Amino acid sequence: MDAADFVGHVRERVAGGGTCVVALDTELLGHWWYEGVRWLDGVIDEAAAQGLALTTLDDALEVADPQPAPAGLGESTWGEGGDLRTWSAPVVADLAWRARTLELRAARAARAGAACTPRARRELLALKSSDWAFLVTRALAGDYPRDRAERHAALLERALGSEPLEPELRHLAPELAGWEG
């Protein structure tokens, strides 16, 4: 489906009012779907050309009265079975819970006024990558995804606890040179 066709379908759906939410796994754009970034750019241009207003979800929720999803609509169209089991099945529950726990710990630290260092943000984003659970669920890479997720979790915990990193780890990301915690 090209951008013009997509925007046309969305315009039809909201012709009588309402809001259409389009949720995309941004990792998909450009990673698994190499032309996805160009498609999204085309959607933005086409929406302007067809007079379809775009907004953020937060702004839409301020003026909308959310309604339940239509009967029979799945949780997702993405992942095996379209039901998110790729990222939340028992085989990867430990990864999901650890990532969520550390995400909440980082948020709590930030609310308490603690500095959220660039390294902490980097490790949180890397830990929350859906690739780790996907690779584990699909048994595509042996121990690698669990090892990577564990390493990012450990580095995030250290960053949140202000424990200094060894010099050889400190410089893995050149833009973070000189980071001490």
What is the number of domains present in the chain? 2
Q: How high is the mean pLDDT of the chain?
A: 82
Please, which pLDDT band fits residue 87 given cuts at 50, 70 and 90? confident
Kindly tell me if the per-residue pLDDT of 175 is higher than 60.
no
Q: How many CA atoms lie within 13 A of 69 on its CB side?
A: 7
Residues 93 and 48 both lie in one domain: no
Q: What average pLDDT does the segment 32-49 reach?
A: 89
3-state helix/strand/coil string of the chain: CCHHHHHHHHHHHCCCCCCCCCCCCCCCECCCECCHHHHHHHHHHHHHHCCCCCCCHHHHHHHCCCCCCCCCCCCCCCCHHHCCHHHHCHHHHHHHHHHHHHHHHHHHHHHCCCCCCHHHHHHHHHHCCHHHHHHHHCCCCCCHHHHHHHHHHHHHHHHHCCCCCCHHHHCCCHHHCCCCC
**Of 36, 67, 98, which closes a domain?**
67
List of long-range contacts for 141-145, beta carbons under 8 Å, 24+ apart? none
User: What pLDDT was estimated at residue 9?
Assistant: 94
Residue 76 within a domain? no
Contact 132, 149 (CB under 8 A): yes
Say whether both 165 and 92 belong to one domain.
Answer: yes
**Shared domain check, 116 and 63:** no
- Which range (14-23, 25-34, 42-51, 151-160) has the least confidence? 25-34
Kindly report, residue by residue over 106-134, the tens digit of the pLDDT. Answer: 888 888 777 677 888 889 999 988 789 98
pLDDT, average across residues 75-89: 75
CA angle (58 as vertex; 55, 62 as ends), nearest 5: 95
Domain residue limits at 89: 85-176
The answer on 103 and 172 residing in a single domain is yes
Average pLDDT of span 13-38: 80
pLDDT digits (tens, 9 = 90+) for 49-69: 999 999 988 898 888 887 787
Give the CATH number for residue 91. 1.20.1430
**Which of 31-35, 58-62, 170-174 has the highest mean predicted lDDT (pLDDT)?**
58-62
